[in-house]
Amino acid sequence: MAAALYDIPLRRIDGKPATLADHKGAVMLVINVASKCGLTPQYAELEEIYETYRERGLVVLGFPANEFAGQEPGSNAEIQEFCSTKFGVKFPMYEKVVVKGDGQHPLYRELIAARPTAQQNPAGTLRKTLEKHGLAPTNDTDIMWNFEKFLVNRRGEVVGRFAPDFAPKDSAITGAIEAELSKPA
């Protein structure tokens, strides 16, 4: 599985070809992001986590997606501009991808295969809110909403998946990051 994640062709938000192998040896936090979502302010905490842990080997990777109520309608250039001006995002951003349903990007197919269900936030109400509005995922394996987070260890293995309503600086996420960073490269 690890080699498969590293080999999947990607494109950075500026259109340049890339793969996760560009970050081989790092701990990666992979997030599907959106600019017009109630969870969009998570960009600020994601940047804080990146700045806090990057010297120790963490990289945060943002993948814009528009599958959830059309909350990422912009072009890659518009998304890049929004992230840098509104939230000062310096972590790597990739071009818009499909994270569920028809046309699902191979990266998300592999991430979900490796970690089929997300850890749910015990204090969270997002799932109930989505259910109330008929927007809940149809399968437990589906990405629930924008800002679902996958933690990938230094060997390219998916070791965690967190529901979108976990704030990036929640102790469940930072604890998992710390644990992975403390392991040898």
Give the C-alpha separation, 37 to 10, whole Å.
24
Q: Are strands 27-33 and 149-152 parallel, antiparallel or unpaired?
A: antiparallel
Active-site residue identified among 1, 4, 37, 136: 37
Active site residue 37: yes
Q: What is the 3-state secondary structure (H, E, C) of the chain?
A: CHHHHHHCCEEECCCCEECHHHHCCCEEEEEEECCCCCCCCHHHHHHHHHHHHHHHCEEEEEEECCCCCCCCCCCHHHHHHHHHHHHCCCCCEECCCCCCCCCCCHHHHHHHHHCCCCECCCCCCHHHHHHHCCCCCCCCCCCCCCCCEEEECCCCCEEEEECCCCCCCCHHHHHHHHHHHCCCC
Residues with catalytic roles: 37
